[in-house]
Structure 1
Amino acid sequence: MFFLAFGAPAMAETITCDLQGTPVNFTIDRTQFAPAHNAGEPPRRKVTMVRMGEAQFPAEPILMGDVRGFWGEGLSGSNVMFVVQPDGSAVFTDMRAGQRLAGQCEIQ
């Protein structure tokens, strides 16, 4: 049986950003953060597909209170980290390339 509760939190959030003219889009599926059903269950891998400009790559979503984001392997094997603060301000860092972009995001 399925019940729809109005006012219940959404199970997925779409984050749309502008980082100094570069569009960034990804989705955080909250169900990926649910605890295991039993202790013997293996850890679940959390994945989101990030679209950054013309590029697309998989990353692990971050959901810590009101902070959203992702981290993972970006283009050419670089390590990337992206964090969105509750006010929508965001920072993208590519550790290998030494790149840092700041911008604004909207969470839907």
Structure 2
Amino acid sequence: MAEVVSCDLSGTPLRFAIDRAQFAPAIDQAEPPRRRVTTVQQGDATFPAEPILMGDLRGFWAEGMGGADIMLVIQADGTAVYANPRAGTRITGTCEVIQ
């Protein structure tokens, strides 16, 4: 079952899901690497991203326009930072897992 993450980034809603099954180890060593994918809805925009799940940290990485890297990192307490270094964007906010 996927965790649904809902965020408020300085007034802009953002939502995505993390399917923990995508992080399961391969059953066989010959199995090709799995691609982890989620769909992010940010305001009126929708784009694909790679979910991140590392201990209590959650988030995603995505390729933005012009080859920019977009990253959202959510701490265990729900504080979040959305960054696009190429565009000079850094937005803070809060997120919660609503499942």
What is the TM-score of this pair, normalised by structure 1? Answer: 0.87
**8 A contact 1:74–1:80 mirrored in 2:** yes
Greater strand percent: which structure? 2
Question: In structure 2, which of residues 88, 96, 99 is the aligned counterpart of residue 106 of structure 1?
Answer: 96
Instruction: Tell me how far 1:76 sits from its aligned partner.
Output: 4.7
Given the alignment of the two structures, is residue 88 of structure 1 paired with residue 94 of structure 2, yes or no? no
Question: Which residue pairs with 2:32 in the alignment?
Answer: 42
Among candidates 54, 57, 60, match of residue 47 of structure 2:
57
- Per-residue deviation, residues 47-91 of structure 1 (Å, max 9, x unmatched): 000011111100000000010000011245421010010100000
Q: Give identity over the alignment, percent.
A: 60
In structure 2, the gaps of 5 or more residues are: none
Asked if the contact 1:16/1:23 (under 8 Å) is kept, the reply is: yes
Deviations 1:7-64, CA, capped at 9 Å, x for gaps: xxxx310000000001000000000000001000000000000011111100000000
The separation in 1 between residues aligned to 2:21 and 2:94, in whole angstroms, is 25
Q: Which structure 1 segments of 5+ residues have no match?
A: 1-10
Aligned length: 98
1:78 corresponds to 2:81: no
Higher-RCO chain (CA-CA 8 Å, sequence separation at least 6): 2
Contact persistence 1:57–1:75 (CA under 8 A): no
**In structure 1, distance between residues paired with 2:93 and 2:65:** 20
TM-score normalised to structure 2 length = 0.94
